[in-house]
Structure 1
């Protein structure tokens, strides 16, 4: 029988200890052992190393100056927020959002640039992202040399392990090695991730999934994304591949099959009114959903029908996801939520109809209009999760070599 890779086990245990301190600190070593189910010997060895590297700090509970106090003060452990700074970014069709965070994932500075990104040449997009990162770092009172890692979140299909953006509506080419491009430009280790995975981790650390280690997130933006969290870790495909929910096939047979994006994607929802010049201009400027919301309020039948069809399709897709994974909570985020009650009621009704009666009460549906900076903060969390697993020393984190799928 093949034994577990000891380096992998060390990385997993290290992540577990750091994440336990992050979530429950200040916390004692005994409590870490109880919560993580790691032995006290393992916890002591890992925390000793983390203290040596300056990633965690000690805090004494009790007054060591009070001689009358019984017993020794308890030594509690907490993250050192100043140990590391990272950058997270969300890149969308019409805007870019950047944040710098500390080792706890708390935002130090943020920058939002309303600029049309989609279908620009790759070099131009890279220029814009580089400028945004540098500006956000300067706003934080830092230099790039102070940044341990950068994570850029893209819509579409991203292969996290190789650094390739397989496909994205904002890139004119497939299979772009954006991680290598930005690492060479910034001279800082840069990784890429799908924006749906980023917002999933943001909700796990700070949002609607903070109390859960298992959950599903569905993002309804220009692309339809899926994030699956199991035992506190993102589920990724081969090579760290993200999931493009919009590619899901729906229908009763090949002759009637359609991809989810063709019904529930942003382009599908807005497409019915694209002939109208004013509406087309709004879409081109990234304000299509705002215009759609106004049309629905004005009882525009074509937009109401499009929003209803989209809600029903998403509701069925969510029912299928719950049937497959049985999560306790499904968090639904993204610009499509701005369509309002027409969309939300159609989604909820379709979900209730499609979900099997045996698991009807399993999952809670939660809708959240997540702020744009939260998506970028989630990208920073992706970077932090990798640092939590990395071996450290006096020169900082040692990046693990990328392996082929």
Structure 2
């Protein structure tokens, strides 16, 4: 019978302990043992090494000078915010957003660079990303030498393990090894991740899913993305692949395939608007969704119909996702929320109609208009999560 790799078990246990301290700290060792279901000796060995590595801090709960207090004060453990710093970034077609956080994920600085990079040469995009990262690090009063990891998140299909972007609306080429392009510029570890995975982890760490171990997030941006969190971890495909929800097939005919992006993608929605004037100029500049509210408020029938059609397609898609995973929470984020009531109401109606009765009360459906800085903070969380998994030092027995 095969036995578990001791080093792997150490890494898994270390991650479990660190994440428990992050979520519930300050926390006593006995409570860590209860929450992780690890033995007290294993928790003591791991936390002792984490203290030696400078990743966590211990403090006594209560006043050591008060002799009238019976019993020894409890030793409480918490993350050391100064253990390291990371950079997270959201790279979008018309704006780059950066943040520097400490080891706890608390923001030290933020920087935004409004620039249209869609279909620019990779070297030009890389120059702008490098400038943004360096500027944000400088705003934090730091140098790149004091940064442990950079995580760049962007839309599209991304191989997390390799840093290869198989496809993205902001790149003119496919299969771009973006990690290999960016790493030499920083001289430190550089992770490339899908933006939907970044915002999923952001909600798990800082947002609406902080109390949950399982949830689903649907991102409605230039691309339609899916983030699945299971047992406190992101679910990724082979090679760490992200999921392009827009490729989901909703129907077929003899000569065509109807995909979700063809009904609910940004291009499909905007294509039903006027092809001239301010709206057309906004689309040319990559800012079409900012003009949608105006058209809907003016009761533009074509845009309202497009919003309702998109809402119906997304509602049915989410019902199918809930049927597969039955998550307690589904979060919907992204620029398509600018479509407002015609979109959201039709989404809710289609979702309710498509849900099987046995699962009708399983999942809570919420909408969140998160800022781009929140997405960037999620990228920083991706970097931190990988550091939590990394072998900083000896962390005690595996079992």
Same fold (TM over 0.5): yes
- Superposition pairs for residues 260-339 of structure 1, below 5 Å? 260-273=260-273, 275-339=275-339
Q: Aligned pair in 2 of structure 1 residues 380, 32: CA closer, same or farther (>3 Å)?
A: same
How far apart are residue 253 of structure 1 and its match?
A: 4.8
CA distance in 1, matches of 2:141, 2:60: 31
How far apart are residue 393 of structure 1 and its match?
A: 4.0
How far apart are residue 62 of structure 1 and its match?
A: 1.3
Structure 1, unpaired ranges of 5+: 395-405
Residue matched to 2:219: 219
Residue matched to 2:145: 145
Residue matched to 2:84: 84
CA distance in 2, matches of 1:167, 1:137: 29
User: SS at the partner of 2:191?
Assistant: strand
Residue matched to 1:203: 203
CA distance in 2, matches of 1:224, 1:283: 18
- Superposition pairs for residues 4-403 of structure 1, below 5 Å? 4-251=4-251, 253=253, 255=255, 257-273=257-273, 275-393=275-393
How far apart are residue 303 of structure 1 and its match?
A: 0.4
How far apart are residue 251 of structure 1 and its match?
A: 1.5
User: SS at the partner of 2:374?
Assistant: helix
CA distance in 2, matches of 1:161, 1:370: 27
CA distance in 2, matches of 1:274, 1:385: 45
User: SS at the partner of 1:51?
Assistant: helix
**Greater CA deviation, 361-370 or 281-290?**
281-290
How far apart are residue 254 of structure 1 and its match?
A: 5.2
User: SS at the partner of 1:87?
Assistant: strand
Q: CA RMSD in A?
A: 1.2
Q: Aligned pair in 2 of structure 1 residues 158, 247: CA closer, same or farther (>3 Å)?
A: same
User: SS at the partner of 1:86?
Assistant: strand
How far apart are residue 381 of structure 1 and its match?
A: 0.2
CA distance in 1, matches of 2:85, 2:188: 12
CA distance in 2, matches of 1:254, 1:332: 33
Q: How many residues align?
A: 394
CA distance in 2, matches of 1:380, 1:25: 20
CA distance in 2, matches of 1:183, 1:202: 23
CA distance in 2, matches of 1:380, 1:356: 37
CA distance in 2, matches of 1:94, 1:204: 26
User: SS at the partner of 2:271?
Assistant: helix
CA distance in 1, matches of 2:176, 2:31: 45
CA distance in 2, matches of 1:111, 1:41: 44
CA distance in 2, matches of 1:8, 1:292: 50
CA distance in 2, matches of 1:261, 1:7: 43
CA distance in 2, matches of 1:274, 1:195: 30
Residue matched to 2:397: none
User: SS at the partner of 2:145?
Assistant: helix
How far apart are residue 293 of structure 1 and its match?
A: 1.2
Q: Summarize deviations over 1:258-287 as a string: whole Å, max 9, x none.
A: 110111011110012262242121123232
How far apart are residue 358 of structure 1 and its match?
A: 1.1
Q: Summarize deviations over 1:190-242 as a string: whole Å, max 9, x none.
A: 00110000000000001011110000000000000000000000000000000
CA distance in 1, matches of 2:224, 2:254: 22
CA distance in 2, matches of 1:256, 1:345: 29
CA distance in 1, matches of 2:2, 2:172: 44
User: SS at the partner of 1:273?
Assistant: coil
CA distance in 2, matches of 1:237, 1:250: 21
CA distance in 2, matches of 1:274, 1:390: 52
Q: Summarize deviations over 1:355-389 as a string: whole Å, max 9, x none.
A: 11111111110000011100000000000000001
How far apart are residue 250 of structure 1 and its match?
A: 0.5
CA distance in 2, matches of 1:380, 1:10: 24
**Is the Cα contact below 8 Å between 2:252 and 2:258 reproduced in 1?**
no
User: SS at the partner of 2:219?
Assistant: strand
How far apart are residue 114 of structure 1 and its match?
A: 0.9
What is the TM-score with the length of structure 2 in the denominator? 0.97
Q: Aligned pair in 2 of structure 1 residues 254, 78: CA closer, same or farther (>3 Å)?
A: farther
Deviating beyond 6 angstroms after TM superposition, the runs of 4 or more aligned structure 1 residues are none
